[in-house]
């Protein structure tokens, strides 16, 4: 079950107002600094807790004895220990960071080794991702795309309200925030042409998504129920599933996207645990049809997470182009996982399941350039006066997600990547 461990009222670590990483959050990532090998870190304020050194200096021995699972290039070893270890670590960090506890607070030599200023670190891909699934769980997005490409028909296909539609994607090209990429090439069918050409995409797009990380495996041949699904989920990240729309248009029939999707997907650097997201639960949208029993999902199974997307041209200021929210997803993460495994599919530690583009009910909440510009018919005007139908070379797309109720806030850090010219 999700832990009910509550943080202390204050911490001795300086946390600036409005920080993504207050004491309640404590997200996990992989970082390096000063030429040291990548290892597990936990974010708080403007610092990263070096969990490997925290273990070496004796502050975590009570939990892990002689095994330093934090001296690792991925989080998979720690995640594999299961929820009891996650809960115990969270509780121990609360103890050590409590303003009233001198155990670590008064040891300057230890603090110098354990608490690393964020400006000194480099973030890395936090997981070994063996498998990646991309869902299509936003009703508004599916409706918009259907309306664009099937203007005379029903926007939503008959199966959409009955199953969380998905496909398997390419895990090897999921990259950490800050990894840039060259504009991809593929086959296009020019308007009015009879044969395709090989060229760089002219319709490069972002997709605003969230993804969850598998933290507990199921045996092959067994299913995970909606009631049990969250016990199999470690946490969530922001997920930009870059897309080449013109390549996709030509290649997707009859099997779906291929080269239009597998060149890169970008994730935020920090995995925010479900424990940290617990206060931000909310209801999912009401189902419009009766779903099969295995997809019944009661209670607050969505999260009120705002996701802002900015486009920053080279040598110019960023422009906010979209503000959407995880709560708009029609299918919850529990329903997505239950459907994924109903046939006995075995999930592995570190597997990633993305939501699909998240769009809201108003145009400013659309989660892709395809929708924001309506296939390029309504270009966006950026702060520097330039126009965008799709993403240009030199543009940096930045996504920033956070949940907030009053003064309580958790964030994911920035998910960003810059488009370089095609090679």
Is residue 258 a contact partner of residue 214, using CB atoms and an 8 Å limit? no
Distance CA 292, CA 298 (A): 13
* Residues forming CATH 2.30.30.230 domain(s) in the chain: 28-124
CATH class as words, domain 28-124: mainly beta
Give the CA count within 13 Å in the CB-facing half-sphere of 399: 32
* Residues forming CATH 3.90.850.10 domain(s) in the chain: 132-420
Distance CA 292, CA 288 (A): 13
pLDDT of residue 5: 82
Phi, psi of 94 (to 5 degrees): -60, -40
Cα 259 to Cα 5, 173, 197, 204, 211, distances in angstroms: 45, 12, 14, 12, 21
Computed on alpha carbons and rounded to an integer, the radius of gyration of the chain in Å comes to 22
Q: At 210, list the tokens.
A: 């969230």
Distance CA 9, CA 75 (A): 28
pLDDT of residue 1: 55
Burial of residue 401 (CB within 10 Å: 0-12, 13-18, 19+) is buried
**How many C-beta neighbours within 10 Å does residue 66 have?**
6
Cα 409 off chain centre by: 17
Q: Quick one: CA torsion of 269, 262, 130, 412, rounded to 10 degrees?
A: 20
Helix (H, G, I), strand (E, B) or coil at 177: coil
What pLDDT tens digit does each residue of the chain (423 aa) get?
A: 566 788 999 999 999 999 999 999 999 999 999 999 999 999 999 999 999 999 999 998 767 656 789 999 999 999 999 999 999 999 999 999 999 999 999 999 999 999 999 999 999 999 999 999 999 999 999 999 999 999 999 999 999 999 999 999 999 999 999 999 999 999 999 999 999 999 999 999 999 999 999 999 999 999 999 999 999 999 999 999 999 999 999 999 999 999 999 999 999 999 999 999 999 999 999 999 999 999 999 899 999 999 999 999 999 999 999 999 999 999 999 999 999 999 999 999 999 999 999 999 999 999 999 999 999 999 999 999 999 999 999 999 999 999 999 989 999 999 999 999 999
Is the previous residue joined to 401 through a cis bond, with omega within 30 degrees of 0? no
Is residue 274 a contact partner of residue 4, using CB atoms and an 8 Å limit? no
Instruction: Collect all residues with Cβ–Cβ distance below 8 Å to 404 and sequence separation of at least 6.
Output: 280, 306, 410
Q: Does domain 132-420 have CATH number 3.90.850.10?
A: yes
pLDDT of residue 298: 87
Is residue 324 a contact partner of residue 307, using CB atoms and an 8 Å limit? yes
**Closest residue by Cα to residue 209 from 266, 158, 255, 166:** 266
Distance CA 327, CA 329 (A): 5
Catalytic residues: 141
Extended strands (E) in 257-341: 265-267, 272-273, 281-282, 302-303, 306-312, 319-325
Q: At 357, list the tokens.
A: 């583009």
Instruction: Collect all residues with Cβ–Cβ distance below 8 Å to 368 and sequence separation of at least 6.
Output: 141, 205, 206, 207, 208, 243, 357, 359
pLDDT of residue 61: 77
Q: Model-level pTM?
A: 0.96
**How many C-beta neighbours within 10 Å does residue 201 have?**
24
Distance CA 334, CA 315 (A): 42
Cα 2 off chain centre by: 19
Is residue 244 a contact partner of residue 361, using CB atoms and an 8 Å limit? no
pLDDT of residue 63: 75
Is residue 359 a contact partner of residue 316, using CB atoms and an 8 Å limit? no
pLDDT of residue 104: 97
Instruction: Collect all residues with Cβ–Cβ distance below 8 Å to 112 and sequence separation of at least 6.
Output: none
**Closest residue by Cα to residue 363 from 177, 140, 210:** 140
Is residue 372 a contact partner of residue 148, using CB atoms and an 8 Å limit? no
Termini Cα distance of the chain? 49
């Amino acid at each position: 079950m999700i832990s009910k461990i509550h943080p202390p009222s204050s911490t001795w670590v300086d946390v600036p107002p409005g920080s993504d990483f207050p004491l309640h959050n404590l997200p996990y990532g992989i970082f390096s600094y000063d030429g040291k090998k990548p290892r597990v870190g936990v974010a708080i304020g403007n610092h990263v807790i070096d969990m490997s050194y925290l273990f070496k200096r004796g502050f975590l021995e009570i939990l892990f004895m002689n095994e330093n699972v934090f001296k690792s290039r991925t989080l998979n070893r720690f995640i594999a220990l299961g929820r009891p270890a996650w809960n115990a670590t969270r509780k121990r960090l609360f103890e050590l960071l409590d303003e009233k506890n001198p155990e670590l607070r008064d040891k300057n030599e230890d603090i110098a080794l354990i608490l690393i200023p964020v400006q000194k670190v480099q973030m890395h891909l936090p997981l070994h991702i063996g498998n990646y699934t991309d869902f299509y769980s936003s009703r508004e997005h599916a409706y918009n795309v259907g309306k664009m490409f099937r203007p005379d028909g029903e926007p939503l296909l008959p199966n959409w309200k009955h199953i969380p539609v998905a496909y398997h994607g390419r895990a090897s090209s999921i990259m950490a925030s800050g990894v840039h990429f060259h504009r991809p090439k593929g086959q296009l069918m020019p308007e009015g042409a009879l044969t395709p050409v090989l060229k760089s995409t002219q319709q490069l797009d972002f997709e605003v998504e969230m993804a969850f990380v598998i933290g507990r495996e199921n045996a092959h041949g067994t299913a995970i129920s909606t009631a049990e699904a969250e016990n199999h989920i470690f946490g969530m990240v922001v997920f930009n599933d870059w897309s080449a729309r013109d390549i996709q248009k030509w290649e997707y029939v009859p099997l779906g996207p291929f080269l239009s999707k597998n060149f890169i997907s970008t994730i935020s650097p920090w995995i925010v645990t479900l424990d940290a997201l617990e206060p931000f639960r909310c209801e999912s949208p009401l189902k419009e049809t009766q779903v099969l029993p295995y997809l019944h999902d009661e209670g607050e199974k969505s999260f009120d997470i705002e996701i802002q997307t900015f486009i920053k041209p080279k040598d110019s200021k960023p422009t906010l182009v979209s503000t959407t929210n995880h709560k708009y997803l029609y299918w919850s993460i529990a329903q997505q996982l239950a459907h994924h495994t109903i046939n006995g599919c075995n999930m592995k530690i570190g597997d990633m399941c993305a939501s699909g583009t998240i769009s809201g009910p108003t145009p400013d909440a659309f989660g892709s350039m395809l929708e924001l510009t309506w296939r390029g018919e309504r270009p966006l005007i950026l702060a520097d006066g330039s126009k965008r139908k799709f993403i240009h070379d030199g543009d940096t797309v930045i996504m920033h997600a956070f949940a907030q109720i009053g003064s309580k806030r958790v964030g994911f850090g920035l998910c960003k990547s810059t488009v370089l010219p095609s090679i």
